[in-house]
Amino acid sequence: MLNRRNLLKTSLTAGAAILPSGSVLHDLKGSHTEYSILTDADRSPVEIVTLPRRLASLDPTTLPWQQRIRRVGQTNMTEYDGAAMKVEQWADYWHAAKADIVFVSVTGILAFYPSTVKFHRHGKFLEHRDLFGECVSAAKKRGMRVVARMSPDLNWPDALAAHPEWAMRRRDGSVQHNNEDPRLFQTCMFSSYMDDYIPAIMREVSSLYDVDCFYTNGWPPLGSLPDCHCAICSKLPPSDTPAYWRVFTNRVLELWRTYDAIAKQKKPDCFFFANSGGNVRGGPNLNDLSKVSAWFQADNQGRTYDDPVIWGCSLQGRVCSAVLDGKFAANVTAAYSTGSPGWRNVSKSPEETRMWLNETLAGGMVPYLHFVGAENGFGEDRRWQQVGTDYFRWTAQHDAHLTGRRSIANIGVVIGQSTQLLYPGPGSTRSRSYMHETTQGIYHALLQGRFAFDFVHEDRLDPEHISRYRALLLPNVAMLSDRQCQQLRDYVRSGGSLMASFETSLYDEDLKPRADFGLAELMGASKAGRVIGTNGNAYSVRIESAGASQPHALLDGCNNTTWLAGAQNRTPLKAVEEPLLTVVPGFVRYPPELAYPTEPHTSEPAVVLGESGPSRTVWFSGDIERTYWLTGHGDLLRLLHNAIRWVSHDERIVHVEGPGFLEMFCWETGPGYAVHLLNYTNPAAQHGWLHELDPLGPQTITVRLPSGVAVKSVELLKAQQRRPFAMPEQLLRFTVPALDDYEVAAITVQ
């Protein structure tokens, strides 16, 4: 069945113009396109909209050299490697694995070359050996580029004695030492240590060796802000405030530019980059960082006790795509045993390592394999080596298909980096883990619904960046400036749709609370009181339209009940006309004799809906995403899925139908398109490591292609087989017959 519908000013229009690489398409007034209605497993309609016109062809040789890097290797040197490392063996391995570039240690806390910089301590096994120089020569001889790796975060007592101002301090003035080796003190990024000492090492290395770029590990901090009370930092704003975050970001950018200028003094195409992971929390403002960064180093090495979900690397890839505009990003995969406790010199399971590499590729980043200790990694535990060699060689056969030019999705999730870093959570639940749980909740829900989605940075809410999306989701994005609220209003007035929850827009960019939501008028939802939490039995929601002949789409699947589960916390809302769901206040859970509502019917809305032309809005009063993550309750998942489908008009560019729990990415590539499927159906999906795989049965993939694009072939890169396909009216359809851990469907167009 075909129909026609006015669209928002979006790049999804078949008549969109071709823009330069890295641009997005927007602002197409009065445009129309056609939709094809499919049917998924539960017989609900699935609309698939057309892709934007393909980007203009690009000559890879015109790109900066780092944009052509496809495989990264690192053997992190230990002090003992100064005596025992076999450089030729090390270089032969990475060359045979087809690594394009290798990280070589200049300094961690120790010099790996005969440095003359004061306080740059030589390792006790180095003697007069130039280990760094040997490695640079061996790599260059094999055609591999070299990153000079530094770690500026720690130093020794002799440096502290001479420069007490270099140390991070506690409130009582005491020095902050390393937790595991108290001989080492933590250096302050606002001190002259970063202005004088680190540049001295960079200049010395640049004068002696032919390196391609410089990198600092351990700085800037990832996922949190430093808490220092030295003489300099004590004059700065408190470290948990938005004002400090801005000062911190400015200092990072200042040092970044200084170090980059030093790197370029010898070779103009040399550059500096630093640790830049931390997922949605980041460290410095990621949008600002993207403007100076030539290489985004996502230091997201593997699952940990604090973050055990299997999709952590994919999530990092979405963060990179949200800010980089096609710039280079690599994610570090640790082949050693991450976690707590961890084993730095013991390999993790091959299945776990491969899945992290799979997610790196699927998420649009470049795979990067890392082991600690050259002597150990090539003499003791060598299990990681075959994993790396096999994986890197496989990618080398398919670089063109594995290099994404832009993501294909029409749902955007606003990640709200300031909220992630600074918002402490409401009332008695105040915790830095609050937004982590919120993010995992919306992410898991989107995966369960097999939605194609991107992350959107809060500082990129202008039409250039968001008009490509049919709908934006704001999972408790508590901090939004007046300008950002206006940008969202403009987006909706142009035809876009929004789904938001809980305390979204209740605080400005300085974390100052507003009297009402900044988006209150737009969403038709107004705050009626302070946050109400759970004491015993959480609140429920009552279906006000139960029994209606045509229930609202938000209630699809909500049968044989007038009550649904609510969230753990809610911001009470003022009454609205004809609410779809109302709040049944919480009550005691024990004793069971008292487990009944004293107020079974209220006028307080649990959700507020709005619709104007193609624009639709949904506002949940509760922290529904976080509560879903904590409980896994099916009512909450159903409400989230129904709401996302409704605000997006259930329009999908790509749809994957089949059994199992998986994550899907779709990229435009040079040859055509690539659909990546990651199989997470496994008992260890949310804890521990993978040790075995649960293969999935057939997955049917449907993609709406732009007008005039013809498909030449569909090839499964892991299975190494071509697949038959059908393409009636630009609707490409084919089947992946089986899915182990990972598959890439490479679509080559004519």
Q: Does residue 505 belong to any structural domain of this protein?
A: yes
- Which position has the higher pLDDT, 545 or 404? 404
Please give the average per-residue pLDDT across 733-744, as a whole number: 98
CA nearest to 131, candidates 160, 161, 96, 106: 106
Sequence letter at residue 279 = N
* Per-range mean pLDDT, top range of 13-27, 584-598, 613-627: 613-627
Express each pLDDT in 137-150 by its tens digit.
Answer: 999 999 999 999 99
Q: Are residues 109 and 150 in the same domain?
A: yes
| Alpha-carbon distances, residue 164 vs 101, 190, 324, 538 (angstroms) | 37, 13, 38, 53
| Alpha-carbon distances, residue 688 vs 221, 308, 311, 352, 683 (angstroms) | 25, 7, 13, 9, 9
Last residue within a domain, chosen from 585, 618, 647? 647
Look up the CATH number of the domain holding residue 735: 2.60.40.1180
pLDDT of 51 strictly over 90: no
pLDDT of 7 strictly over 50: no
For the chain, percent of residues with pLDDT exceeding 90: 83
- The number of beta carbons lying within 10 Å of the beta carbon of residue 106 is 27
| Burial zone of 115 (CB within 10 Å; 0-12 exposed, 13-18 middle, 19+ buried) | buried
Confidence of residue 27 (pLDDT cuts 50, 70, 90): very low
CA separation for the pair 28, 19 (Å, rounded): 13
The mean pLDDT of the chain is 91
pLDDT of 56 strictly over 70: yes
- Token look-up 């076999």 returns 86
Beta bridge partners of 329: 296
- The number of beta carbons lying within 10 Å of the beta carbon of residue 462 is 14
Look up the CATH number of the domain holding residue 267: 3.20.20.80
pLDDT score recorded for residue 167: 98
- The number of beta carbons lying within 10 Å of the beta carbon of residue 508 is 18
Please give the average per-residue pLDDT across 580-601, as a whole number: 93
Q: Are residues 193 and 290 in the same domain?
A: yes
Q: Are residues 599 and 682 in the same domain?
A: no
- Rounded to two decimals, what is the model's pTM? 0.92
pLDDT of 573 strictly over 50: yes
Please give the average per-residue pLDDT across 154-161, as a whole number: 97
Confidence of residue 4 (pLDDT cuts 50, 70, 90): very low
Please give the average per-residue pLDDT across 287-300, as a whole number: 96
Q: Are residues 659 and 636 in the same domain?
A: no
Please give the average per-residue pLDDT across 725-733, as a whole number: 95
Q: Does residue 473 belong to any structural domain of this protein?
A: yes
pLDDT of 390 strictly over 60: yes
Element (H, E) at 384: helix 383-396
pLDDT score recorded for residue 154: 97
CA separation for the pair 502, 517 (Å, rounded): 10
| Alpha-carbon distances, residue 544 vs 135, 563, 564, 581 (angstroms) | 71, 9, 11, 6
Cβ-contact 511, 450 below 8 angstroms: no
Cβ-contact 118, 91 below 8 angstroms: no
Question: 390-395 long-range CB contacts below 8 Å, 24 or more apart?
Answer: 391/354, 391/357, 391/367, 392/71, 392/73, 392/97, 392/98, 392/99, 392/367, 393/97, 393/98, 394/717, 394/718, 395/70, 395/71, 395/361, 395/367
Express each pLDDT in 190-209 by its tens digit.
Answer: 999 999 999 999 999 999 99
- The number of beta carbons lying within 10 Å of the beta carbon of residue 591 is 7
Specify the number of domains making up the chain. Answer: 3
Domain with 368, as residue range(s), is: 72-155+189-396
Please give the average per-residue pLDDT across 214-242, as a whole number: 95
Last residue within a domain, chosen from 625, 647, 669? 647
Phi-psi region of 76 (alpha: psi -120 to 50; beta: other; left: phi over 0): beta
Q: Does residue 523 belong to any structural domain of this protein?
A: yes
pLDDT score recorded for residue 47: 56
pLDDT score recorded for residue 419: 97
Q: Are residues 377 and 424 in the same domain?
A: no
CA nearest to 457, candidates 699, 285, 634, 700: 285
pLDDT score recorded for residue 550: 83
Strands (E), 425-476: 453-456, 471-474
pLDDT score recorded for residue 257: 98
Q: Are residues 683 and 629 in the same domain?
A: no
Rg value, the chain, Cα: 27
Beta bridge partners of 177: 185
Q: Are residues 491 and 618 in the same domain?
A: yes
CA separation for the pair 123, 359 (Å, rounded): 37
Backbone angles phi, psi at 379, to 5 degrees: -130, -30
SS3 readout for 211-280 = CCEEEECCCCCCCCCCCCCCCCHHHCCCCCCHHHHHHHHHHHHHHHHHHHHHHHCCCCCCEEEEECCCCC
Please give the average per-residue pLDDT across 450-466, as a whole number: 97
| Alpha carbons within 13 A on the beta-carbon side of 20 | 1
Cβ-contact 747, 653 below 8 angstroms: no
Backbone angles phi, psi at 336, to 5 degrees: -85, 175
Q: Does residue 14 belong to any structural domain of this protein?
A: no
Element (H, E) at 491: helix 482-493
CA separation for the pair 463, 489 (Å, rounded): 11
pLDDT score recorded for residue 50: 67
Q: Are residues 316 and 385 in the same domain?
A: yes
- Token look-up 């004519």 returns 750
Q: Are residues 679 and 642 in the same domain?
A: no
pLDDT score recorded for residue 316: 96
Element (H, E) at 626: helix 624-631
Confidence of residue 3 (pLDDT cuts 50, 70, 90): very low
Please give the average per-residue pLDDT across 511-522, as a whole number: 98
Q: Does residue 467 belong to any structural domain of this protein?
A: yes
Greatest CA separation for the chain? 85
- Which position has the higher pLDDT, 623 or 12? 623
Least confident of 137-141, 498-502, 535-539, 745-749: 535-539
Q: Does residue 501 belong to any structural domain of this protein?
A: yes
Q: Does residue 625 belong to any structural domain of this protein?
A: yes
Q: Does residue 471 belong to any structural domain of this protein?
A: yes
Please give the average per-residue pLDDT across 120-145, as a whole number: 95
pLDDT score recorded for residue 48: 60
CA separation for the pair 71, 63 (Å, rounded): 17
- Which position has the higher pLDDT, 77 or 6? 77
Sequence letter at residue 609 = L
CA nearest to 72, candidates 314, 336, 367: 367
3-state DSSP: the chain helix, strand, coil percent, rounded to 5?
A: 30, 25, 45
pLDDT of 28 strictly over 80: no
Give the orientation angle of helix 350-362 with respect to helix 383-396, to 10 degrees. Answer: 30
pLDDT score recorded for residue 428: 66
Confidence of residue 400 (pLDDT cuts 50, 70, 90): very high
Express each pLDDT in 621-651 by its tens digit.
Answer: 999 999 999 999 999 999 999 999 999 999 9
- The number of beta carbons lying within 10 Å of the beta carbon of residue 490 is 15
pLDDT of 36 strictly over 70: no
Q: Are residues 627 and 690 in the same domain?
A: no
CA nearest to 717, candidates 452, 451, 396: 396
CA nearest to 353, candidates 305, 318, 301: 301
Please give the average per-residue pLDDT across 247-261, as a whole number: 98
Q: Are residues 328 and 428 in the same domain?
A: no
Look up the CATH number of the domain holding residue 480: 3.40.50.880
Last residue within a domain, chosen from 396, 422, 452? 396
CA nearest to 296, candidates 239, 256, 336, 242: 256
Q: Are residues 221 and 256 in the same domain?
A: yes
